[in-house]
Amino acid sequence: MDDNSSGSDVLYSSQLLQTLDYSNAVTSPSKLAKHLVLRPLRCDDYSRGFLDLLSQLTQVGDIDEKLFNERFKQMKNNGNYYVTVVEDVTTSRVICSATLFTEYKFIHNAAMRGRIEDVVVDGEYRGHGLGLLIIETLKLMARSLDCYKLTLDCRDEMIEWYSRLGFIAVPTRSNMLTIRFDD
């Protein structure tokens, strides 16, 4: 879990993960099988199938290593992106990922709002609680980063699943509207 254990650049300090208190959480990293490691995204996860994993979620497109590295650096320099992954160290593949990012506000005493984005578990690893673990982890991180609230957008069929983790569709005010520019 050391930031330089792989000789690679990490998106955020893994210390943030190590200090989370899972005592009231529905799961914790201690329940992970030994060959699975929860950690921040690393720049060299490009070669560990990170984009293949994202392609199970949505269209990724043709991202070469240079473009990946540029985007990674932008996120890292920005300082508000906490892409968190699970790696299967027996295969050196990233098999679960979710992003927390934090948004600056003037409202609520110049607060931070947390957002969860791009949640995906590899099809071969579903049903073992990895989704619960990564969302619970991002919840604890958002709280630890002093977010006043944490939100995510989801499909109808995921509402019940997220409700187990405390996410609520607040009546009359839980609509996410969209304009696409790429259609």
Binding pattern for the stretch 115-134 against a second copy, x by CB under 8 A and - elsewhere: x-xx----------------
Contact between 23 and a second copy per CB under 8 A: no
Q: Considering only residues 3, 68, 128, 129, which one is a binding residue for a second copy as defined by CB under 8 A?
A: 68
Contact between 21 and a second copy per CB under 8 A: no
Q: Are 108 and 54 in contact (CB under 8 A)?
A: no
Least CB distance to a second copy at residue 62 (A): 7
Outline where 10-112 has alpha helix (H).
15-18, 50-54, 65-78, 107-110
Q: Considering only residues 58, 123, 124, 127, which one is a binding residue for a second copy as defined by CB under 8 A?
A: 58
Helix (H, G, I), strand (E, B) or coil at 36: strand
Is the dihedral angle over the CA atoms 119, 125, 128, 130 positive or is it negative? negative
Contact between 62 and a second copy per CB under 8 A: yes
Q: Are 150 and 165 in contact (CB under 8 A)?
A: no
**Residue 150 CB neighbours (<10 A):** 21
Contact between 159 and a second copy per CB under 8 A: yes
Contact between 32 and a second copy per CB under 8 A: no
Contact between 105 and a second copy per CB under 8 A: yes
Give the integer Cα–Cα distance in Å for 129 and 118.
17
Contact between 103 and a second copy per CB under 8 A: yes
Query: Which residue has 């968190």 as its token pair?
Result: 84
Q: What's phi and psi for 80, nearest 5 deg? A: -110, 10
Which one, 30 or 172, has the nearer CB to a second copy?
A: 172
Residues forming contacts to a second copy in the complex (CB under 8 A) are 50-51, 54, 57-63, 67-68, 70-71, 74-75, 78, 80-81, 83, 101, 103-111, 115, 117-118, 139, 142-143, 147-159, 162-163, 165-170, 172-182
